[in-house]
Structure 1
């Protein structure tokens, strides 16, 4: 029977922002992260997108001339297929739209360029009905052919950083050559007509729609970039990466690497037209300079650096059922009382090690010395939650309770510094005062630098010398991609909110930085623990991708094995799960963001009062 004969219609519930079929969701986050209680099996709705912070409401006039001023940690590229950082995605989500989105950073997917979909009874064929009347920033009209082209770029372009997500994780049917490489043009993504797209998977996948909501699946005008066979392209990839064209609520205006990115309101947007005239993200690496910019009211919304943060100034007036706190902060240094929003995010922050450079005993010694609770209290002023696992608590198998129960088995101690154990494991490996080990730890924030200094001072007494290298995040990201970092601080926020999205970073074959198709950066392999992690992934995660209870149980068993294998070899040291805090002035009003983080939030529903 043809796939189209066995399709069952599943409509997106646009009024509630949910999906017609209940989808198992959870979450995680990137550069900072604690846990949120909206993990597990998601309901079919998400909170109303009209909920706002306690800021004074803006005038809502779409002819506003006000520009929204925000901070960025540094943008590497504006092309969605090589973009792999949250700072890239924050700009990109406002320039580009995809079939599906996480509305306001909520982990419940919502239709965007799709209006509804049908899925075959065997769970392998998705047929999407597409929105009419959508125009790109270059005046081209959106059709199914644009999706085919955009996903072909994701699969076939040499510039793609996440072809793995499309071809392997999602498992879109395709052909490979004798060396296992994708055969261009063979992917089962077909435009049935201008407004109908059909996608065929090799087997059912439990998070198919969630993966399609990832930023790399953004839709571009057909043929705009000529970096794949069959398309000459209006631009080279290099030109497009700094002058992008999408169909999002804002269109590109300017980009200066290391300085700023600006976008302007797209009056032809198919959704809610932006209230603000534009958005400018300024790159300000120094925390003191960031705070000065905020206190001089050159920023509308911002984080307060921990060095300037005082928890006694927080007054919480409301906590919703997702753990999000709304209130005020003040008085700030400039005498103003700021509006305050705290959101527990699904994310994990950690210290990663290049295992080809830093031997196992040294990595274990760092873990013995690390006191996650001390870091949280002394460095982060208790703004985060100490971590023992890479999987965030709310999406850990069994939820927060099972996370905490299994954390009792963590072998290194989360609230103490074990110098004796660190010294013993190093002496057994032959290290001593006359045979010390030195490595470089790269960091990108003042807080991470403080953590690094604590570790450095403690490790000195156990035969290990740490050189701390502070760098901009965009520079560190390039070093990681090229395999040039020895040890590094980093965070991960979900691309799709289930444990496999996190634990793919601990799947040894995908940590090889020489492969050009890696997700992690640890070069982990050749040990018993790495073999167990690989087998757990191959035999229970990759072999059980479907949505059934039995498949989920098999994956859950594998997730625990992978976490424990990481404990043994200590390739990624869990440090904390973050709650994101956002401070703003009364002139700004915006919807509360969800546990996916503010960087996933389109800014078209942000409003600024004319009086500033």
Structure 2
């Protein structure tokens, strides 16, 4: 671990586990073809309800008017924007809360949301926002003081799981105590007028506006929850997080029955485009077969297809836009209907991670030699993504996808497009392993039949390279808990962009942040100089990123060189083995008109512009 005095305020873990320590993974995901974080769990059921209806809700009340029916393949855990770390919760929160900025239809370019206008100082340290004329769902006017309060909750509330976003990622000015922990009330966020908000950064940060589009930074009525400062709170925390999440978004809370369903209802006084549907309802179904049956019975207007039931031959792409989004049709479905189709290359990476303190380097290299990403994407994932040898998605790699391809083709040290068992066996034998001395490794994955199929292929290949691999499945939360506790060996996870820049991904490979003996490791690989020859290279490269965070061409060039150095360090030590970048696909019946979502993923798309006709076809 490096000298902690060399780590700046965007060092995240700060080596000492200070204010940046968190207990959950930002951007973390399980299976790449669903709205949730994992495919695990039981079945869900529901009655058919498309178009205009009066529907029985999860808590016995009624949804009046049109209902846009969707499915969540992961469990909602909270409706508090500073506490949510899972995709399923984020999808609902996105409809209830608004931020200063937003990603329009999840495209990776921000625009104003609650910010009507803004200015930036010449040194990129001061941002001044003029707020739109908007109200919360309780009728209160949105003011700058509401943001001061909401961001204090983000930084200081014991319920916050995103404190490092504001304290370290963006680096809003603040004070720390002798233990390097945030001093409550010291944020550089000021209401300089009723609707004027001034934000001061300790250093420039190249993606400040992009971060302000994340729902953790959403507006919340001042003093609503008594979990920070001297506020008594109008609501208890449980009320706010579970039954009365008051925001300023296009929809207001209707109901949430944990593990079963949730719904939101349009907010008629919304300052933006008032929703065209009266309600959005999500059925929570974590089992693949049950999810498929639910959609085929037309209980969902807009849905995913599990990989086991997906047939790529049924996709007819009619148009590909400048963002790489493919639109067209899919069919026939099992119910003989032809669905509308969108396939979007999202800013994501799915990978195998190694606890380097438990899995020696030769074993990790053997994994890299036998893994044929192209084969896995084609045969296992049915081309629902693109093979990946880099941890950074190609569209945001320095120089773009062409530069990413050039680097991989010229420098990737393992076998591309083939399974090289001979090279895997050689590296293991050079390390002293053989038929009578095999390495035993535990593979842990979330409950996904698709990933289990890939694991089985790897297990059979590695057996010829003196490695016995045991496959274990765990639910998503258990996998994360075991990772934080340093109990994993080889594991599977994914990462979806919090902001569209390489450092959002490569922070997972910053060695000081991977130490599971410290609070809140952002990944679980325990990358140290004892476990990998390139650990110092990765540490120095990420420090260069931290030291050159300004939105200037010179700083960007320094970051670009450091990004490449981190990728090369990961190739050398195989802390994480990239598998694929997901193509996120959705399907919908003809009774729905919806814009395709962008590379930030469907969890970033607001649904107020969805149009729903009276009858499904």
TM-score range, shorter chain: 0.7 to 0.9
Aligned with 1:547: secondary structure?
A: coil
Contact in 2 for aligned 1:162/1:517 (Cα 8 Å): no
1:200 aligned onto 2:203 = no
Deviation at 1:251, TM superposition (A): 2.0
CA distance in 1, matches of 2:288, 2:484: 26
CA separation of 1:135 and 1:417: change in aligned 2, threshold 3 A: same
Q: 1:406-454 CA deviation, whole Å, 9 max, x = no partner?
A: 1021112231112222223333334344443131321342222211121
Contact in 2 for aligned 1:32/1:578 (Cα 8 Å): no
| Map 1:148-547 → 2, pairs under 5 A | 148-243=148-243, 244-408=245-409, 409-435=411-437, 436-481=439-484, 483-526=486-529, 527-538=532-543, 540-547=544-551
What is the number of residues matched between the two proteins? 559
Aligned with 1:66: secondary structure?
A: strand
CA separation of 1:473 and 1:268: change in aligned 2, threshold 3 A: farther
| TM-score normalised to structure 2 length | 0.86
1:119 aligned onto 2:123 = no
1:562 aligned onto 2:549 = no
Deviation at 1:514, TM superposition (A): 4.3
CA separation of 1:78 and 1:155: change in aligned 2, threshold 3 A: same
| Equivalent position of 2:38 in the other structure | none
Q: 1:51-76 CA deviation, whole Å, 9 max, x = no partner?
A: xxxxxx989xx984324222332223
Aligned with 1:536: secondary structure?
A: helix
Q: 1:135-182 CA deviation, whole Å, 9 max, x = no partner?
A: 222333321111111111111123322222211221111111122111
Aligned with 1:171: secondary structure?
A: coil
Aligned with 1:492: secondary structure?
A: strand
| Equivalent position of 1:69 in the other structure | 70
CA separation of 1:29 and 1:319: change in aligned 2, threshold 3 A: farther
1:596 aligned onto 2:600 = yes
Contact in 1 for aligned 2:67/2:281 (Cα 8 Å): no
Structure 2 gaps of 5+ residues are 1-26, 34-49, 53-62
| TM-score normalised to structure 1 length | 0.86
Contact in 2 for aligned 1:76/1:474 (Cα 8 Å): no
CA distance in 2, matches of 1:479, 1:139: 44
CA distance in 2, matches of 1:103, 1:587: 23
Moved more, 343-352 or 498-507: 343-352
CA distance in 2, matches of 1:238, 1:569: 45
Contact in 2 for aligned 1:98/1:213 (Cα 8 Å): yes
Moved more, 574-583 or 437-446: 437-446
Moved more, 589-598 or 519-528: 519-528
Structure 1 gaps of 5+ residues are 1-27, 35-56
Deviation at 1:186, TM superposition (A): 0.9
CA distance in 1, matches of 2:238, 2:88: 19
CA distance in 1, matches of 2:516, 2:222: 31
Moved more, 378-387 or 275-284: 275-284
CA distance in 1, matches of 2:225, 2:356: 37
CA distance in 1, matches of 2:200, 2:178: 22
Contact in 2 for aligned 1:70/1:299 (Cα 8 Å): yes
Aligned with 2:547: secondary structure?
A: coil
Contact in 1 for aligned 2:346/2:598 (Cα 8 Å): yes
